[in-house]
Amino acid sequence: MLSFKIKMQEAAKSKKSPLILALDFPFQPAENRNNILIKAQKILEVVHPYIAAVKINHHLTLPLGIFDGVADLVEQIRGQGLLAIMDAKVNDIGNTNQTIAEYYYAAGFDAIIANPFVGWEEGLKPLFDVSKRLNRGVILLTYMSHKGASEGYGQTIVDIYTGVQTPQYVAFANKALEWGADGVVVGATVPDKIAEVKGILGNKVDVYSPGVGAQGGAAATAMRAGANYLIVGREITMSSNPAEAAQTILYSTKNL
């Protein structure tokens, strides 16, 4: 069976695109929530030729439910030849992490995003174990795209084993290698961090870069720095013409 990493590479090759759509929408009051699913389905219909995968997070799981509207969206995503990534940012004790992953995988997701801050033993190990057993992928947060990321992911830490001072995100990149992650998240807003992390990971672990567009990250700059995939949300979902917005971003990555 193909690993998630290989499946992503094949999807990107088939679609000729490194783009991942973050299917995010603003809060809606109760009387408008039925429109969320309809809007998501319509955007997928027009955007799917230009993307390789779709990332879903709490913007949709909270109002739609994972075994109701979200499961319908995942079925649509898979039917369009795309992969579905759950941005759960898993960050709890091991038993809870495993259960969270099992539910999302039961809903059809191909991979899950997790936070390495919780560590390995009785932390992310159970999540990795169930992901491996079900042949799903794990992507680790390494440096997020918002300005406050420097307060956590950018802080300097002392390695508990070696006593060496190192940036937190460098430690997380090394953990991605050690734990066998399929990918890491490094914001498109920090291309210098993308390049540094890519230098650590090489071709063993892929780099997923969110923050293109609305947060100020540039697609071409992130790709040149070493990103394998670009995660784009509001620049597409909030556009009056989502297909055109996706095409414009995709075009900017060509001939790099």
Cα(178)–Cα(2) distance, integer angstroms: 20
Residues 127, 193, 21, 29, CA torsion sign: positive
C-beta of residue 54 within 8 angstroms of C-beta of residue 20: yes
Identify whether 198 is a catalytic site residue: no
Annotated active-site residue in 5, 39, 55, 89: 89
DSSP string, the chain: ---HHHHHHHHHHHHT--EEEE-------GGGTHHHHHHHHHHHHHHGGG-SEEEE-HHHHHHHIIIIIHHHHHHHHHHTT-EEEEEEEE-S-HHHHHHHHHHHHHTT-SEEEE-GGG-IIIIIHHHHHHHHHTT-EEEEEEE-SSGGGGGTTTSEEE-TTT--EEEHHHHHHHHHHHHT-SEEEE-TT-HHHHHHHHHHHTTSSEEEEE-BSTTSB-HHHHHHHT-SEEEE-HHHHTSSSHHHHHHHHHHHTTT-
Rg over alpha carbons for the chain, rounded to the nearest Å, is 17
Tokens of 63: 């109002």
Q: Catalytic positions, please?
A: 89
